[in-house]
Chains A and B, each alone.
Chain A
Amino acid sequence: MRYFKAILLSVLTITLVWALNRPWGSVPAFGPLLSPFAGFWQNAESDQTKDEEVNVTGTRAPVTVVFDDLAIPHVFAQNDYDLYFAQGYLTARDRLWQMEFQTHAAAGRVSEIVGERALELDRFNRHLGMGYGAEQTLKGMESDPTTREVLAAYTAGINAWIDQLTPAQYPIEYKLLGYAPEPWTPLKCALLLKQMSSTLAGGADDLLMTNVLRKYGAAVTFDLFPDYPTREDPIIPPGTKWDFKALPVPAPPKDSLLTNLIALSAPGFGVSPSRANPEIGSNNWAVGAQKSATGHPILANDPHLTLSLPSIWYQIQLVSPTVNTYGASLPGAPNVIIGFNKSVAWGVTNVGADVLDFYAIRFKDASKQQYWHDNQWKSVRRRLETIRVKGKPDVVDTVYYTHHGPLVYETGAKPFRPSIPVGYAARWIAHEQSNDMLCFYKLNRAENFADYREALAYYVAPAQNFVYADKNNDIAISPNGRFPLKWKNQGKFLMDGTNPANDWHGYIPADQNPLVKNPPRGFVSSANQFSTDPSYPYYINWQFAPSERGRRINQRLTVMKGATIDSLRMLQNDNYNLRASDALPTLLPRLSEKGMSEQQRNALQALRQWQRSNDAGEIGPTIFTEWTAQLTKAIWADEFDTGDTLPMRFPAFDRTLTMMQRDTGARWFDNTKTPARERFSDVLNESFRATCDTLVKKHGPVGTSWNWGQHKGTDIRHLLPGVDAFSALDLDVGGGAVVVNATNERTGPSWRMVVALGDQPKAYGLYPGGQSGNPGSPHYQNMIETWRLGKLNELLYLQSAQDKNPRLKRTMTLK
């Protein structure tokens, strides 16, 4: 009996300890997690105020880091190696988990951490050739001695931080998911760039457009999906001279486009298509000296990305004998990406060039060893991808590479993204050898326009509109990246991979990329709209982001005089809905009040009185946004949403509006699913009433409960899905998809910056988050409220580590 009790209790205790010491599915190991000695308690931080001296191995001389009140590091190093070492060390200190997680995601390694549920995501990234592309980029970066050393220093700095970590000091996400950080490698820096390319240059409509063409023929397709919109104001002002001798444009293949494509079209497959996120875009502009109150240019930039915590960006000032630059960096990449130095400022928005194309591959046989191209059999290269899966055996995948690129999905496979065709190889700019990092390294050190031009030539992907301003009063903008040399509309549709006429034919020379310097209008700007008007001799893409943001910015800048930092900040927060002002004069007069319910009439009244502002406290934007979505669906869904069998897309809103204005008898207004013939006004009235009824159901009678800010509800979510506790949810903030302040439900200005050039640059900026990636830190989301209010913080541009400023809090010495 006495043995029995002793054994029973011991077994019970040991079992309890064992059960608490391991995770159960997604439930973390509670024992170590709750321990104040090693668990989450150890991640709770208070504001550090004391100076510190840190011993690290790897620096060549002591590095001084001054932290300001927002925990932004200002790094003073005596040589460049130490500078990038310190950048790696400090970024890892604040953002280690995020850096590793994002690069794991790019490499297709999320299953290692979360198990089988990420397997399809991992498979997708591997089949798209993310790892292959990263290896190519790494080759490019390591072939240049400068960037090789920057990478080595940055990597050594990150590893110096990782090496001294004890498990109790691991970021909370490691503790929750039960894994440990691994050493950083230069390849991870390349993977991060691929992740950006995937976000910004990984969208493809080729399959959807091919299906449209197959169903409706060339005439309808080119009518509804034109190569230039009705309303546009391109980035390069029309009339700008192209001062270069253009290369000959390659000839399109001779065989009829359509018959060829019908033969090629892949059979349909599951779920509705997900494409490049149209809400991801950005604004930037620079006003010249003649328009600014200071007599020198002022530059502004706000990149719109999926808002997340830890924040996408990390602020840092980097000072060494060769550089003094400040701005936003990407955790996992050395240098400042968007920022300024004493002489120049620069910023970026996405171009949206068509740099991802799909080629139908004809294999000789099921063994997939050879494929047909240029009238001969060519050999296929295989790449084995081993995906480790937490709690499961490894999954080994073979990816087949042709000279076009990897076969993203084999015929018969079920694609992760339905917009990616099955049986096609992807030709993607992100697979090219490149050294994009050198562009930023040189921009960080640029002193004048010539330096800017030199830096841009190194940049490949994802192509960006690089805006530029300097203290010598030059301003410029250039849609820049490596653009494939194409025949017109090459890659608008899927292509036949056997015909070499469909291949990319080299690239547009970097010095012939679109560029405008000091235009007569006194400003340059971009908001992801068309790079140029049709006079540019090369083809970049047939579609770009909707023109409203760009046109609004240009309208405001055209009339702006004596611009200040504050007037540009106000423009970043501009909520004017140009789409509403374009469309409502066409839509409203055709609405009939006859037979409307009281609530519908109230909503109509509200819409009529609305001054077209997407402020948080307005109800007009709620009605307009929901109504246009409903209307678009009512017009196009019957013809262009046939469900799973043939994924297609709708024509753009610009084309829809043009049709509503000029062709009200168009066949497309009829709902083909009803026997009656509907006309434009029927669709218009029905969709308005349905929208009102839906909103009443959701928010009650027309009133403040319909307010745009709450209706839209902007969320800034932690990178791990579902971790609401580490997210900032339902922020009450204005903006919208087609307004300058492009704050949407999940996306928005991820960094806002305004820089006034001059003898000393004066800069302001912030991002919606905080410097620390640790949810237990007071600096995790401390900038969100300031961001929500549309304000900016002054960016302290220090000249030396001894500079005095009341906002400087403490010093760290790395030795």
Chain B
Amino acid sequence: MIHIILIAVLSFLAQLILPWWSLAIVAALVCFWRSPGALAAFFYGFIGVAIVWLVYAILIHLRTDGIFTARMGQLLFKMNNAAMPMLATTILSGLVGGLAGLSGYFIRRSTGNQTA
């Protein structure tokens, strides 16, 4: 749980000033720091990052009556509703976050064992 919270908070702060892909660095670092296993690392990275994008997207969607979410759904996915943009936003960020978390974990394993 602490991982998810850490990834969420740190990736949120990072993206306020850095490009979107800073979320990958955050997920990798947190999982490098500590992670019980490969699956957990992916999971932490995925959820920690994706929850920030999803919640932020939902907030914007609600604040603006969702006019634009549906239009972008039409433009990018040929579906005139908000579901696809939401889903794509969540999965895209989650995948990057998850893979980054996994990378962090494996990097730790490959270096950590030697120093241990």
Q: Which residues of A contact B (CB under 8 A)?
A: 2-3, 5-6, 9-10, 12-13, 16-17, 20-21, 30-32, 34-46, 723-726, 775-778
Contacts and interface: CB of A to CB of B under 8 A. Distances in A.
Contact of A725 (B21, B71, B93): B71
A6 B15 CA distance: 25
Contact of A6 (B56, B85, B92, B109): B109
Interface string B51-92: 001001100110111011101101100000000010011001
A31 B64 contact: no
Secondary structure at chain B's binding surface: helix, strand, loop or mixed?
Answer: helix
Given A31-B20, A725-B71, A36 B89 contact: yes
21 contacts: A3-B110, A6-B103, A13-B99, A17-B21, A31-B96, A34-B53, A35-B53, A36-B53, A37-B56, A38-B15, A41-B61, A43-B68, A44-B69, A45-B64, A46-B63, A46-B64, A724-B74, A725-B72, A726-B71, A776-B68, A778-B67
Contact of A38 (B19, B28, B88): B19
Contact of A13 (B65, B75, B96): B96
A785 to B, nearest CB: 15
Contacts of A44: 60-61, 63-64, 67-69
Contacts of B103: 6, 9-10, 12-13
A771 to B, nearest CB: 15
B115 interface: no
A402 to B, nearest CB: 47
* Residue of A31, A38, A42, A778 with most partner-chain B CB within 10 A: A31
B72 A40 contact: yes
Given A37-B56, A40-B72, A45-B64, A10 B107 contact: yes
* Residue of B56, B72, B95 with most partner-chain A CB within 10 A: B72
Contacts of A45: 64, 68
Contact of B99 (A16, A21, A34): A16
B75 to A, nearest CB: 4
A41 B16 CA distance: 14
B24 A13 contact: yes
Given A36-B89, A726-B71, A775-B68, A41 B107 contact: no
Given A16-B99, A20-B96, A723-B75, A9 B106 contact: yes
Contact of A34 (B16, B61, B89, B111): B89
Given A37-B20, A40-B68, 15 more contacts: A6-B110, A10-B106, A13-B96, A17-B96, A20-B92, A31-B92, A32-B19, A34-B53, A34-B85, A34-B89, A38-B15, A40-B85, A41-B89, A46-B64, A775-B71
Please name the 10 residue pairs, one residue from A and one from B, whose CB atoms are nearest each other, closest first. A776-B68, A725-B75, A725-B74, A36-B56, A44-B68, A35-B20, A44-B64, A6-B106, A6-B110, A9-B103
Nearest to B54: A36
B20 to A, nearest CB: 4
Nearest to A34: B89
A31 B21 contact: yes
* Residue of A30, A34, A46 with most partner-chain B CB within 10 A: A34
A723 B75 CA distance: 7
A16 B64 contact: no
Contacts of A20: 21, 92, 96
A775 B15 CA distance: 25
B47 interface: no
Nearest to B77: A725
A21 B21 contact: yes
Contact of A16 (B16, B53, B69, B96): B96
A812 B100 CA distance: 45
A21 B18 CA distance: 14
Contact of A776 (B15, B64, B89): B64
Contact of B92 (A13, A30, A37, A725): A30
Nearest to A778: B67
Contacts of A2: 106, 109-110, 113
A257 B71 CA distance: 58
Contact of B20 (A5, A10, A38): A38
B102 interface: yes
Contacts of A38: 15, 19-20
Contacts of B69: 41, 44
Contacts of B71: 725-726, 775-776
A10 B111 CA distance: 14
A35 B15 contact: yes
A13 B100 contact: yes
* Residue of A2, A39, A44 with most partner-chain B CB within 10 A: A44
A5 B19 CA distance: 27
A802 B31 CA distance: 59
B67 to A, nearest CB: 6
A168 to B, nearest CB: 10
A3 B103 CA distance: 11
A358 B113 CA distance: 81
Contact of A36 (B57, B74, B99): B57
A629 to B, nearest CB: 33
B75 A726 contact: yes
A17 B106 contact: no
Contacts of A41: 56-57, 60-61, 68-69, 89
Contacts of B57: 36, 41
Given A6-B107, A40-B68, A43-B68, A17 B92 contact: no
B21 to A, nearest CB: 5
Contacts of B72: 40, 725
Given A44-B60, A723-B75, A725-B75, A37 B100 contact: no
A21 B21 CA distance: 8
Nearest to B69: A44
A810 to B, nearest CB: 17
Contacts of A35: 15, 20, 53, 89, 93
Nearest to B27: A13
A42 B72 CA distance: 12
Contacts of A725: 71-72, 74-75
Nearest to B18: A37
A20 B99 CA distance: 14
Contact of A37 (B16, B64, B88, B99): B16
B99 A12 contact: yes
B68 A5 contact: no
A36 B69 CA distance: 11
A32 B20 contact: yes
Contacts of A43: 68
Contacts of A37: 15-16, 20, 56
B96 to A, nearest CB: 6
A124 to B, nearest CB: 29
A365 B29 CA distance: 71
Given A2-B106, A35-B15, A44-B64, A16 B75 contact: no
